Amino acid sequence: MERMSLTIHGNVQGINLRSMIKVKALELGLTGFVTNNSQGTVTVEAEGEKAKLEEILRWFDTNPGGSRVDQVSDQWREASGEFTDFTIKYA
């Protein structure tokens, strides 16, 4: 199990992307959360099998839901096991 932290830049707010990320993460069996911030980025913290984490990372290349993903910054580390579900955190 691994943990991946993502920061997603581009036209990623106001298009229901957080909900789409949650659906995709649950489909892949990932745990963690998604949130956004006032700087216009979306942040994802996800834990699961490395192949599943890599799959959701590649999914952003498709510009899901009409988003325009300009850049995805990723950081990897060992999973902590702190999550039991995948949720949306509202700022």
Ordered structural domains, the chain, with CATH: 2-88 (3.30.70.100)
pLDDT grade for 91, boundaries at 50, 70 and 90:
confident
CA distance 6 to 28: 16
Q: Is the pTM of this model over 0.85?
A: yes
Catalytic residue chosen out of the listed positions 11, 16, 18, 68: 18
CA distance 90 to 33: 10
Which letter does DSSP use for residue 15 in this model? S
3 is catalytic: no
pLDDT grade for 23, boundaries at 50, 70 and 90:
very high
b/e per residue, 24-40, with b = 16+ CB within 10 A?
bbeebebbbbbebeeee
Mean pLDDT of 58-87: 95
Mean pLDDT of 7-35: 95
58 is catalytic: no
Catalytic residue chosen out of the listed positions 3, 11, 16, 36: 36
| Whether residue 72 has pLDDT greater than 90 | yes
